[in-house]
Structure 1
Amino acid sequence: MPQVSVTIAGRLYRMACGEGEEAHIEGLAATLDGRIEEMRTAFGEIGDMRLHVMAALTIADELSETKRGLARLEGEVAALKEAVGAGDERLGDVEERLAEAVSTLAERIERVTKSLTPSAQPSQPG
């Protein structure tokens, strides 16, 4: 199993990860390290544990908001899919009515054409 070494808040950590996940773990560690540094800049030296907890809470808050936003967007997508489905159904109904109207019109045209076409009558001697 691959291992990756990351530095968070000046401490080196070695961790196991899945094949090909090394860069992802390094990126996550860099994000956490940056967040801890932001907390340190904003609040000063208030203790590593407190800085780590505050950084973790801000990241957890962002994750929570992202999940809520995703759930909202999934709901909107579901509603749009439903609306498209209903629209497709209505379109099918319109197409069916249109086909019936075209058929009826074709029958009428045929009747009119027959009524306007002189029927072949035997010629009368004259």
Structure 2
Amino acid sequence: MPDLMLEIGGRVFEVACEPGQEQSLHRAARMLDVEANRVNDAVGRSTEKRTLLLAGLMLADTTTALEDRLAATEDRLRHAEERVRIAEAKSAMLAANALKMETEATHRMSSTDIDRLRKDHEAAVSTLTRVLSEVNAVADGVSQDD
């Protein structure tokens, strides 16, 4: 089990970790060190326990805020995906109805009616394209937040 020396808040700590976890532990220690230094800068040198407690609370607060943002983004993405499914279903239904009407009654249907159905279909496809663009924008925002 590797032993690591980590400096946090101007103090050195020896910790053990599982093999392969060294990089992750160093990253976590750097984050805690940044917060510990902020605590020390804000309130002056404190006891080790108090400095680490306050730094941990600050990190926990940041983590909670990020978790809330992630949950809100996931909700927005779920709603956008649902809108895409609805738009796809409407588009498919309109296309099927238009095709059925066109093949069954072309000779009875006026060209105006056929044009109207085509325009309805094109409007549905346009709505679907717009909603898909919104979903992609939300997904890009999630990727950028990471």
The two structures have a TM-score, normalised by structure 2, of 0.66
Deviation at 1:97, TM superposition (A): 1.3
Alignment of structure 1 residues 55-94 onto 2, 5 Å: 55-94=55-94
- Which residue is 1:48 aligned to? 48
Say whether the 8 Å CA contact 2:6–2:29 is kept in structure 1: yes
Per-residue CA deviations over 1:38-92 (Å, capped at 9, x if unaligned) read 1101111232211111111010001111111111111111111111111111011
One-letter amino acid of the counterpart of residue 33, structure 1:
D
Say whether the 8 Å CA contact 2:3–2:14 is kept in structure 1: no
Which structure shows the higher helix fraction? Answer: 2
Mapped partners of 2:93, 2:61: distance in 1? 48
Say whether the 8 Å CA contact 2:2–2:19 is kept in structure 1: yes
One-letter amino acid of the counterpart of residue 69, structure 1:
R
Identity %: 18
1:15 counterpart = 2:16: yes
Going from structure 1 to structure 2, the CA distance change for 1:13 and 1:3 (only over 3 Å counts) comes to closer
> How large is the RMSD of aligned CA atoms in angstroms?
1.7
- Which residue is 1:28 aligned to? 28
Q: Which runs of 5+ in 1 are unaligned?
A: 110-126
Dislocated runs of 4+, deviation >6 Å: none
Say whether the 8 Å CA contact 2:5–2:12 is kept in structure 1: no
One-letter amino acid of the counterpart of residue 28, structure 2:
L
Mapped partners of 1:30, 1:63: distance in 2? 15
- The number of residue pairs the alignment matches comes to 106
Mapped partners of 2:19, 2:77: distance in 1? 33
Deviation at 1:102, TM superposition (A): 2.2
The two structures have a TM-score, normalised by structure 1, of 0.75
- Highest RCO, 1 vs 2 (Cα 8 Å, sep ≥ 6): 2
- Which residue is 1:117 aligned to? none
Asked which structure has the greater CA Rg, the reply is 1
Q: Which runs of 5+ in 2 are unaligned?
A: 109-146
Mapped partners of 1:90, 1:51: distance in 2? 59
One-letter amino acid of the counterpart of residue 64, structure 2:
S
One-letter amino acid of the counterpart of residue 74, structure 2:
E
Deviation at 1:2, TM superposition (A): 4.1
- Which residue is 1:114 aligned to? none
